[in-house]
Amino acid sequence: MAVAFEQGVRGSGIALDVESVSHRYGVEGRSLAVVDDVTLSLAPGEFVALLGPSGCGKSTLLRLAAGLESPSAGAVREDGRVIAGPNPDRILVFQDATLFPWRTVRGNVATGLEARGLLREKHDRIDEVLKLVKLEAFADFYPHQLSGGMAQRAALARALVNDPKLLLLDEPFGKLDSLTRLRMQNELLDLWTNVGFTALLVTHDVEEALLLADRVIVLSDRPARIVAQVSVAAPHPRRRDDPALIALRADLLATLGISHDV
């Protein structure tokens, strides 16, 4: 699929193809349909946002792309190869920062490199990513000494130290206050522009999706199906009061079944 997008480091990042994917979980002998025949392609370096009702299967789609689940039907591919399991090229950032409380910021960021035996070789990368997320002065702080936004930046640094080609973001700013959220959105955009990776963001926030993504995909109630897709052509930095974005916001809210004057 040819997709035009303005920024991101072109070509850096993987192509993600979700092909006719359905997924069911087994719960107490019953089978729960969670994803229903979803087909979706992300070009290398593209930023796509997923919107959908609570419980519809958004996190499950990210887990499938991360290789943490295998689809019940269909295939998920990176650069054409079937994803068979987790890989440090594809990193999932959770809604809660989930830092290890007994390790400092630096220690938390180091975990992925340690697990892969790359700490010695890539040690300098830790300082680079701490700088990228503006936490270099807080490297020796423990998680309980951080604000919510700083903890989320540490979680992003922990992902970025692996130089992911696909960043899967599961409502990464959902628990932050609105001002911190706005700042973090800009920081994420800077990282995407400067570092270069393919990004798939789950969010409940229509404005966040429109400010960040090249394309916004709306999912149905569980089991998740794609009900709408919109391309967001506006170049970055985008203005929240851009009339084109306001019109898209109204369309997306209507698709989600919400009147835009609420």
Ligand X SMILES: Nc1ncnc2c1ncn2[C@@H]1O[C@H](COP(=O)(O)OP(=O)(O)OP(=O)(O)O)[C@@H](O)[C@H]1O
Stretch that binds ligand X, among 54-62, 102-110, 113-121, 142-150 (CB under 6 A): 54-62
- Identify which of residues 7 and 95 has a Cβ nearer to Mg ion in the complex: 95
86 binds, among ligand X, Mg ion, none (CB under 5 to 8 A by kind): none
| Axis-axis angle for helices 178-195, 148-160 (nearest 10) | 20
54 binds, among ligand X, Mg ion, none (CB under 5 to 8 A by kind): ligand X
- Identify which of residues 55 and 86 has a Cβ nearer to ligand X in the complex: 55
- Closest by CA position to 100, among listed 142, 133, 135: 142
Stretch that binds ligand X, among 53-61, 137-145, 180-188, 230-238 (CB under 6 A): 53-61
Positions that interact with Mg ion (CB under 5 A): 59
162 binds, among Mg ion, ligand X, none (CB under 5 to 8 A by kind): none
**CA distances (Å), 60 to each of 56, 151, 236, in order?**
9, 24, 29
Separation CA 245–CA 19 (nearest Å): 29
Contacts of residue 43, Cβ cutoff 8 Å, sequence gap at least 6: 1, 2, 3, 5, 15, 198
82 binds, among Mg ion, ligand X, none (CB under 5 to 8 A by kind): none
Contacts of residue 253, Cβ cutoff 8 Å, sequence gap at least 6: 206, 259, 260, 262
- Identify which of residues 59 and 203 has a Cβ nearer to Mg ion in the complex: 59
- Minimum CB distance to ligand X, residue 116 (Å): 26
| Cα–chain center distance at 166 | 8
- Closest by CA position to 70, among listed 110, 115, 25, 37: 25
Q: What is the DSSP letter of 224?
A: B
Q: Are 76 and 17 in contact (CB under 8 A)?
A: yes
Residue of 222, 236, 248, 252 that binds ligand X (CB under 6 A): 222
- Minimum CB distance to ligand X, residue 220 (Å): 11
- Count residues near ligand X (CB under 6 A): 13
Residue of 8, 60, 132, 236 that binds ligand X (CB under 6 A): 60
Separation CA 75–CA 59 (nearest Å): 17
- Minimum CB distance to Mg ion, residue 96 (Å): 11
Separation CA 47–CA 45 (nearest Å): 7
Stretch that binds ligand X, among 56-64, 129-137, 236-244, 253-261 (CB under 6 A): 56-64
| Axis-axis angle for helices 178-195, 123-132 (nearest 10) | 130
- Minimum CB distance to ligand X, residue 54 (Å): 4
Interactions with ligand X, residue window 7-36 (CB under 6 A): 25, 27, 32, 34
- Identify which of residues 132 and 224 has a Cβ nearer to Mg ion in the complex: 224
Residues found near ligand X in the complex (CB under 6 A): 25, 27, 32, 34, 52, 54-60, 222
